[in-house]
Structure 1
Amino acid sequence: MGLPGNPHRSAQPPHVARWLSPFVVTCTVYLVWVPEDPPSWPGALAKGLPMLCLVVFLQAVAPGGRSTRLFQGALLCSFVGDICLVWPEGFLYGMAAFAGAHLLYLAALGFSPLRPGLLLPVLLPASCFLGLLRPHLPAPLAAPVAAYALLLALVLWRALAAGGGAGRGALLFTLSDAVLAWDTFAQRLPLGRLLVMSAYYAGQALLARSAASGPRRRPD
């Protein structure tokens, strides 16, 4: 082992990096060259295009089966959500699309191993953040945002229970949504768009990469 004639197997096969390249390119194009204002359909499509690249990535490299299809469905819902959120009047539609994505992620991640001990450390910070955000929310959005936050917390719990890239990806996704909510409703943040979208794209990529790795190993 380790001799020139017996190279170690790469943790990330070359074809995985090759199929992720379009995702990296489209993320860069959106973050560097596409302006946030004024909202436009070309800008909205550029924002969502990385999600379509991840759908193609999973089609090319992931093992087939129900889990892969669920991850692809979640990415397609995210694509719809990305487009809706470009326009302020589309906020509720975007949140509904992302709620659909999280439901699909929940179905893909499953509930085994259960690891209930992770639930409280997830729900406690989520509840505290929601409490801080609540005074800044318009009254009609208070209940939908609370329901969405609970759903996102459940996805984070299940992803942390699965471990690996899924857990890291869900953490970044959660961070992205938290920054977006604070930037939108409480206080505009310097480089808010860059922080939100960088964490979001990285989180989605890690989630997709975890699906491409095949069945996750379960602890005994």
Structure 2
Amino acid sequence: MGVLYIFFIPSDPMLIKIIFKLIPMWLIIWFGVLQFPTNKSPIHWLLLSGLFCCMLGDGLLHWFIIGLSAFLIGHLFYTAGFLTRWTFSPIRFLTILPISLFAILIGNQLITGLIHEGNKLFILPVLLYIIIISLMAWAAIMTGNRWAAYGSLLFVLSDSILSWNMFIHPISFSGPLIMITYYSAQFLIARSLQTI
């Protein structure tokens, strides 16, 4: 269904495009439910809530701030869930350095792009989003769960491509790159529900 949406569904009518965009997420959420262990804990419901909020963000991204807000709430659910499985490791802890460096570099570029395009109202929401998704990725890594870690890093990559393409400079094949990394990220986070 993801391939069908990315490569075959036309942009118009928009409602049909949005419906087909959401179908893979419905399936991923259902897959996530099937991964629930017999003994469920709060993390399973938190991650499922994150998946659901991100699906809403997906459908509402046409209205940028509304969609961004839904994604932000989704990342807060993810972060809260991952923090319940915090497992300290010095090596994993130090991953905060490259994550922070990447966030600072892309944040600087985005601010410059937003100012240049006269979109100063977006600066605060975008910076808040960068901080939260960076914390989410770090929290996922700190769980020691490879599915959660890979999924969160793919999410950062997907949103980085999207924001760079939207505010800094067009990227060739940005649409497929964004959605392939995004669906993969969500699938891996849903997959983590079995082992986290």
Q: Same fold (TM over 0.5)?
A: yes
CA distance 1:178–1:39, change in 2 (3 Å): farther
Match of 1:34? 9
Are 1:62 and 2:39 matched, yes or no?
Answer: no
Alignment length (residue pairs)? 185
Residue 82 of structure 1 aligns with an amino acid whose one-letter code is: D
Match among 92, 98, 112 for residue 121 of structure 1: 98
User: Could you tell me whether the CA contact under 8 Å between 1:80 and 1:94 is conserved in 2?
Assistant: yes
Name the residue aligned to 2:109.
Answer: 132
Residue identity in the other structure for 1:203? A
1:141 paired with 2:122, answer: yes
Deviation at 1:114, TM superposition (A): 4.3
Structure 1 segments unaligned to the other structure (5+ residues): 1-25, 216-220
Give the 3-state SS of the residue equivalent to 1:172 in structure 2: helix
Match among 50, 53, 59 for residue 74 of structure 1? 50
TM-score (norm 1): 0.79
Query: Higher relative contact order by CA 8 Å / sep ≥ 6: 1 or 2?
Result: 2
Aligned to 1:170, the other structure's residue is in SS state helix
Instruction: Describe the shift of the 1:200–1:189 C-alpha distance in structure 2 as closer, same or farther (beyond 3 A).
Output: same
State whether residues 140 and 152 of structure 2, in contact with CA within 8 Å, keep that contact through their aligned partners in structure 1.
yes
Alpha-carbon displacement from aligned partner over 1:116-168 (angstroms, at most 9, x marks no partner): 42222211111111111211111000011000000000001011122311111
Moved over 6 A (4+): none
The amino acid of 2:9's aligned partner reads: V
Alignment-mate amino acid for residue 205 of structure 1: F
* 3-state SS in 1 of match to 2:170: coil
Q: Give runs of aligned pairs for residues 95-174 of structure 1, distance below 5 A.
A: 95-110=68-83, 112-115=86-89, 116-137=93-114, 138-163=119-144, 164-174=146-156
Cα offset, 1:57, TM superposition: 1.2
Select the structure of larger CA radius of gyration. Answer: 1
Moved more, 68-77 or 91-100: 68-77
- Deviation sequence 1:68-116 (CA, Å, 0-9, x none): 211111111111111111x2xx000000000010000011111622454
Runs of 5+ unmatched residues, structure 2: none
Does structure 1 conserve the Cα–Cα contact (< 8 Å) formed by 2:109 and 2:168? no
Percent identity of equivalent pairs: 30
RMSD: 1.5
Once the two structures are TM-superposed, the CA of residue 67 in structure 1 deviates from its matched residue by 1.7
Letter in structure 2 aligned against 1:101 = G
> How far is 1:173 from its partner?
0.5
Select the residue among 141, 150, 173 that pairs with 1:191.
Answer: 173
- Deviation of the 1:39 alpha carbon: 5.9
- How far apart, CA to CA, are the structure 2 residues paired with 1:170 and 1:61? 18
Contact in 1 for aligned 2:157/2:181 (Cα 8 Å): yes
- In 1, the alpha carbon distance for the partners of 2:13 and 2:159 equals 20
Q: 1:203 to 1:68 in 2, by over 3 A?
A: same
Secondary structure of 2:152's aligned partner = helix
**Alpha carbons 2:35, 2:190 under 8 Å: kept:** no
Written as runs of structure 1 = structure 2, the 5 A alignment for 1:8-47 is 26-35=1-10, 37-38=11-12, 40-47=14-21
State the AA in 2 paired with 1:56.
W
Letter in 2 for 1:121: P
